[in-house]
């Protein structure tokens, strides 16, 4: 496993060691002791989530706040997505900055997103299966987020606007307010 910190402190790209042969491949998708040693982050995940989405779907930008804040370890089981993390930690030097990466079943990359970040993804393939671990349980009362199309962020989701599929809930999220 290799770990590389992104431009956002505490947000890491994780590349597993993949072993291939004529039958296919194998890799360890999570190892708590290696994860904690390499990231210095807590690897006590308590909930796994999975979604299936079609091309153009944009999910986000979501987060949990307060005592229900969640760190996430995300990956793609089938297809390809553009994964986006936005630093919303008020005291962070990179507050309001974002990072994106293509995650796919082909590259097996994972992204660790610490607490205090909003998170979302867009589906770039015909379909995608997206999986993520959370270090805290989902709490509907702690839901928060920001608009996917906030001009203060200017995120290129890799999908033409006319092809984007969004939930009503995501369209009602507020815009980012500057520090």
Which listed residue (25, 95, 112, 132) is catalytic? 132
Active site residue 62: yes
- ∠ CA 38-42-43, rounded to 5°: 80
Cβ neighbour number for residue 141 with a 10 Å cutoff: 8
Two tokens at 69? Answer: 């804040």
Do the Cβ atoms of 81 and 54 come closer than 8 Å? no
State the burial class of residue 97 (Cβ atoms within 10 Å of its Cβ: 0-12, 13-18, 19+): middle
Q: Report the C-alpha gap between 145 and 120 in whole angstroms.
A: 10
Which listed residue (62, 95, 112, 119) is catalytic? 62
Q: Measure CA 160 to chain center.
A: 20
Reading phi first (left if > 0) and then psi (alpha if -120 to 50, else beta), residue 15 is in: beta
Of the candidates 153, 152, 154, 148, the one whose C-alpha atom is nearest the C-alpha of residue 168 is 148
Active site residue 119: no
Q: Which residues are catalytic?
A: 62, 132
């Amino acid at each position: 496993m290799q770990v590389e910190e992104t431009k956002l402190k505490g947000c890491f790209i994780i590349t597993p060691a993949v072993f291939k042969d004529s039958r296919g491949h194998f890799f360890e998708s999570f190892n708590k002791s290696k994860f904690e040693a390499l990231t210095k982050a807590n690897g006590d995940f308590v909930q796994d989530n999975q979604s299936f989405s079609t091309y153009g779907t944009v999910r986000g930008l979501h987060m949990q706040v307060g005592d229900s804040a969640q760190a996430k370890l995300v990956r793609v089981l089938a297809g390809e997505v553009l994964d986006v993390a936005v630093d919303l930690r008020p005291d962070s030097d990179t507050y309001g900055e974002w990072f994106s990466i293509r995650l796919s079943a082909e590259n097996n990359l994972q992204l660790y997103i610490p607490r205090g970040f909003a998170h979302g993804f867009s589906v770039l393939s015909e379909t995608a299966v997206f999986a993520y671990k959370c270090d805290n349980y989902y709490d509907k009362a702690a839901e928060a987020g920001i608009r996917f199309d906030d001009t203060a962020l200017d995120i290129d989701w890799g999908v033409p606007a006319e092809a984007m599929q969004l939930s009503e809930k995501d369209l009602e999220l507020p815009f980012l307010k500057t520090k």
